[in-house]
Amino acid sequence: MRVEEEEGEEDNMVPQTDGEVVALDTASSEQKERLVIGYALTSKKKQSFLQPKLEVLARKKGISFVSIDQDKPLSEQGPFDVVLHKLLGNEWHDVIEDYQKKHPEVTVLDPPGAIQRIYNRQSMLQGLADLNLAECDGMICVPKQMVVLHDTTSSANEVAKAGLKFPLVAKPLLVDGTAKSHQLFLAYDCLSLAELEPPLVLQEFVNHGGVLFKVFVVGDVIRVVRRFSLPNVSNVEKEKVAGVFQFPRVSSAAASVDKTDLDPRVAELPPKPLLEGLVRELRNRLGLRLFNIDMIREHGSQDVFYVIDINYFPGYGKMPDYEQVFIDFFLGLAQAKHEKGLCVKSGIEM
Ligand SMILES: Nc1ncnc2c1ncn2[C@@H]1O[C@H](COP(=O)(O)OP(=O)(O)OP(=O)(O)O)[C@@H](O)[C@H]1O
Ligand SMILES: O=P(O)(O)O[C@H]1[C@H](O)[C@H](O)[C@H](OP(=O)(O)O)[C@@H](OP(=O)(O)O)[C@@H]1O
Ligand SMILES: [Mg+2]
Ligand SMILES: [Mg+2]
């Protein structure tokens, strides 16, 4: 597990590759196919992820990307070593599940069942508060939250019974990639909850100084970036303000936050042992290799963090140096498959 920090900050571990002896095709400088990756992505995701630099670097390493025709049977396409996918809707879920049963030799990134779990904001965070992260230089919490499935008019009593404290962040219960599933509201009082449309999750707002940590995970690599977030809510505001207020996607900025003008107590990155422990636990529990974690530091604390969101196959194109991170990741998959003798095309001495 390797935690890499933002550019300009030390990497604590450099990937220890002993290099590889590769048989070059004398006819061309490009290497023989080492890994064939079939991809099924939305056009937006293809544009943001499969950028030309990644494709060129990958090709030089014998890694090729092949677009999957969603109108043809998947088993009639390929053969693939890896299927990389992120599409909307559930029909693709069944296609991939069926394909994986027929092609256990293909690495599916990532298994649909594992993805479904984090597409529900309740199951997404289930069990995180019980992680065994002792000796990891910090604490991981999850905000108190409750699900409102049908009727928000009665949720005022439910909120009181659950002991949730306002303000609350109201989030659509299901994440489906649509803009609607990212429409979030800040609710300041019980009565205003009736204005909200279920099914949703009501999650206690945690003051965190306006900075969020996006922890990107690519297999065993962890890359942390800072993003702008919502400002603290003062006690005066809590007393005076009533109603629900939709807020924009404050943290999905294209660029990270430059930390120079931030309070170091707010901007300091989470401790590496804590990130490594959290990602190790989540990798095991979620069964995912491509995800990011939205973490916030409880305002006034040094080492109490809250996980508020987990995203499958996020916007890696915004992650500094993402091309090399993915090349290393795919080469690792190729190595593992060669060792098992599972690669679609061989001819490469590792
Ligand atoms: N419990 C919370 N306490 C404080 N701020 C929060 C909380 N939940 C969400 N936020 C703020 O709202 C933003 C969006 O929340 P969240 O990440 O859960 O929504 P999302 O739609 O899944 O966003 P995305 O998937 O684009 O990261 C967070 O980046 C953070 O700024
Ligand atoms: O800034 P990031 O990379 O976190 O933005 C992500 C966002 O977190 C979600 O993962 C989005 O996916 P959905 O939740 O499925 O909407 C990503 O959108 P995508 O179109 O790139 O998959 C954002 O990039
Ligand atoms: Mg988020
Ligand atoms: Mg999200």
Q: Look at the block and give the residue holding tokens 């309740």.
A: 122
What's the pLDDT score for residue 221?
A: 97
For the chain, give every domain's residue range: 2-110+321-339, 123-312
Full DSSP string of 211-271: EEEEEEEETTEEEEEEEE-PPP--HHHHHH--SEEEE--TT--SS---GGGS-HHHHSPPP
Q: What is the pLDDT of residues 169-213, one digit of tens each?
A: 999 999 999 999 999 999 999 999 999 999 999 999 999 999 999
Task: Give CA 310 to chain center in angstroms.
Answer: 5
Q: Which residue has the higher pLDDT, 77 or 157?
A: 77
pTM: 0.90
- β-bridge mates for residue 215, sequence order: 224, 293
* CB 335, CB 346: distance < 8 Å: no
What stretch of H or E contains 2? strand 2-4
Which pair of tokens denotes residue 1?
Answer: 């597990």
Mean pLDDT of the chain, nearest integer = 88
Q: pLDDT band for 21, please (50, 70, 90 cuts).
A: very low
Q: How far apart are CA 241 and CA 165, in angstroms?
A: 14
Q: Would the annotation count 210 as a binding residue?
A: yes
* CB 287, CB 114: distance < 8 Å: yes
Which pair of tokens denotes residue 161?
Answer: 């019974």
> Are both 2-110+321-339 and 123-312 of the same fold?
no
What's the pLDDT score for residue 20?
A: 37
Q: Class assignment of domain 123-312?
A: alpha beta
Which pair of tokens denotes residue 220?
Answer: 């065993």
Q: Would the annotation count 294 as a binding residue?
A: yes
Q: How far apart are CA 91 and CA 73, in angstroms?
A: 13
Q: What is the pLDDT of residues 262-288, one digit of tens each?
A: 888 999 999 999 999 999 999 999 999
Quote the percentage of the chain above a pLDDT of 90. 74
Quote the percentage of the chain above a pLDDT of 70. 87
Q: For ligand 2, what atom is nearest to the CA of residue 251?
A: 1
Task: Return the residue whose CA atom lies nearest to atom 22 of ligand 2.
Answer: 314
ipTM: 0.97
Q: For ligand 1, what atom is nearest to the CA of residue 292?
A: 27
CATH of domain 2-110+321-339: 3.40.50.11370
Q: pLDDT band for 16, please (50, 70, 90 cuts).
A: very low
- Ligand 1 contact, 139 CB (< 6 A): no
User: 130-133 contacts: CB < 8 A, separation 24 or more?
Assistant: 131/277, 131/278, 131/281, 132/281, 133/274, 133/277, 133/278, 133/281
**Predicted confidence (pLDDT) at residue 303 exceeds the cutoff of 60:** yes
Average pLDDT over residues 60-72: 97
**Predicted confidence (pLDDT) at residue 317 exceeds the cutoff of 60:** yes
What's the pLDDT score for residue 47?
A: 97
- Ligand 1 contact, 205 CB (< 6 A): yes
